[in-house]
Structure 1
Amino acid sequence: MCGRYVVISKISEIEERFGVHALGPYNPNFNIGPGSFAPVITDKDPDKLQYFMFGMTPFWAKKKLYFFNARAEGDHNKENDPKYHGAMGIISKPAFRKSIRSKRCLVIADSFIEGTTTKKLDEPYVVHLSKGQRPFAFAGIWDEWVDVETGEVVNSFAIITTTPNKLLQMLPHHRSPVILPKGKEREWLDPNLSLGEVTAMLQPYEGGDMNAYPISTDIKNPRNNGIDLLKPIGPAVASETSLKLEQELMLEGMGFSRARSRPR
């Protein structure tokens, strides 16, 4: 599962990296979870950076549902076999079958938070791409939902997940978010893609190009936010200094040098 992630790059860096311009204010967030508003780029407006709710509500729902992840395999591969290469059942799931065809988005991120399969966020890790590859994009889907009682219009999204790569298996964790290679990001937004071309992109990211390190369980509280949440409390999972990402962030001087808590 991928229910927490991090977006802290400067807005100018995101705009340059993805060739977009931002609509509205932007606030770095070290602890994005379901219900948070976060930056996305949609197939409908591929030149704009917008802010949608994390946790998708399908257009037909009678109330908000907050689907924050969408399994690429759908109801297949219930054992989460890393070697699975079968059908992508997402195309037939009622909540996702329309969006996977016509409402795809890039979900902007700098890293994501993952727990182990058994202990979940009681044993959390920061997972990031190697060689300073950030920001990057998850493969996402989105939908527009209207509250019939209030008239409120909610644009929301889900991150697509797939089988675990080698790095996620080392935690261990049974799922992996679909991270799109840079050269595939614009292709993901192409409305002319066939369904077969879309599902072919739902593959695990190369595990050798990622790393992870353990962090405090303070990340469990969605009210907590700040760079201290990303501080390593142990060595990296793969052979790399666990301090590299934190030092890089500190050097950028983002102005979030101390963890902060939102009012309870």
Structure 2
Amino acid sequence: MCGRATIITPAADLEKRFNAAFIKGAVLNENVNISAGNKIPVITNEQPNHIQMFTLGYTPKWAHKQTYMINARSEGDLNPENNPQYKGAMGIFNKPMFKHAVKSQRCLVLVDAFIEGPKQEKLNKPYLVYPNRDRGPFALAGIYDTWQHPLTGELHHTVAILTSAANRITQRIEHHRAPVILSREDEEKWLNPDMSVAELSRMMEPFDSKGFNAYPISSKIKSPDANGLELLKPTGDKLFKDYDRCLYERLKYAEEDDYVIREERLVEGDQFVLF
């Protein structure tokens, strides 16, 4: 599963990256610890030119109460062993809760990183998974629906993140699942209502770990109320050695250009020495 998500990219930069504008009235709040019930930015196949804020935690429109399903298994019940080499059918197309949405209500879930822990320790031993080489925000494959509260009539726009079997990174974290990360080439395809089941199934395979890395962070992240950039500070080494800045360092410093001294993003309790 995808335990938590992070979005910290400013709205204007998010609009530029995904070539879409925030819908009128939508407010993007910086949140490094998005959990069930929180708002998360999405782009739906119904409004591909707009970014909206949906509730993380899927509830189908026919449900009697909110269900807050944050993840949907691509393989459904067809890969109970969570085999990373699974090449069979994607059972989500036959799951009553998800089969309608995956065929006609797909969306991009916009994040800067996601947070996952080992299958046993979970978020008691969390890792931040992020794109390296300063690549910025990316899209997770999502499905959505609108649920109406039976008593108040209030509409709730909800979303779930699709998951696949583990890839190289989440296997190293000792977690059995991974969110489905879409390549830039597949983002537009995922929103195309005319895509075949075969093509959609291809996009649901474990994401390519090249270009991504992870490092351990504080277990304080497990509290849904915890927030702030300091939660993304490394508590250990990266899973894979590279010479790129980690996400925490990338967000802490905003660089205007190559010739301007970097501007510090102040975090309570931190001290800096510039050379």
TM-score normalised by L of structure 2: 0.91
What residue is the counterpart of 1:189 in the other structure? Answer: 191
What residue is the counterpart of 1:117 in the other structure? Answer: 119
> Structure 2 regions of 5+ residues with no counterpart?
255-262, 270-275
Q: Which moved more, 1:54-63 or 1:193-202?
A: 193-202
Query: Alpha carbons of 1:254 and 1:89: their partners in 2 closer, same or farther (altered >3 Å)?
Result: farther
1:223 aligns with 2:225: yes
Once residues 198 and 245 of structure 2 are traced to their aligned partners in structure 1, the CA distance between those partners, rounded to angstroms, is 41
Aligned residue for 2:204, secondary structure, equals: coil
Q: Which moved more, 1:241-250 or 1:59-68?
A: 241-250
What residue is the counterpart of 2:12 in the other structure? Answer: 12
What residue is the counterpart of 1:96 in the other structure? Answer: 98
1:209 aligns with 2:211: yes
Aligned residue for 1:207, secondary structure, equals: coil
Offset at 1:257?
Answer: 2.6
What residue is the counterpart of 1:257 in the other structure? Answer: 267
Once residues 242 and 218 of structure 1 are traced to their aligned partners in structure 2, the CA distance between those partners, rounded to angstroms, is 25
Equivalent residue in structure 2 for 1:48, among 30, 41, 50: 50
8 Å CA contact 1:163, 1:176 repeated in 2: yes
Query: Alpha carbons of 1:91 and 1:25: their partners in 2 closer, same or farther (altered >3 Å)?
Result: same
8 Å CA contact 1:167, 1:208 repeated in 2: no
What residue is the counterpart of 1:62 in the other structure? Answer: 64
Equivalent residue in structure 2 for 1:174, among 173, 176, 181: 176
> Structure 1 regions of 5+ residues with no counterpart?
260-264
Once residues 149 and 126 of structure 2 are traced to their aligned partners in structure 1, the CA distance between those partners, rounded to angstroms, is 35
- Runs of 4+ in structure 1 off by over 6 angstroms are none
What residue is the counterpart of 2:272 in the other structure? Answer: none
Larger radius of gyration: 2
Offset at 1:3?
Answer: 2.5
Once residues 121 and 243 of structure 2 are traced to their aligned partners in structure 1, the CA distance between those partners, rounded to angstroms, is 24
8 Å CA contact 1:106, 1:137 repeated in 2: yes
1:196-242 per-residue CA deviation (whole Å, 9 max, x = no partner) reads 22122101111232110001100011101100000000000111268
Aligned residue for 1:121, secondary structure, equals: helix
Aligned residue for 1:224, secondary structure, equals: coil
Offset at 1:256?
Answer: 6.7
- RMSD after superposition: 1.5
User: Structure 1 vs Structure 2: percent identity of aligned residues?
Assistant: 42
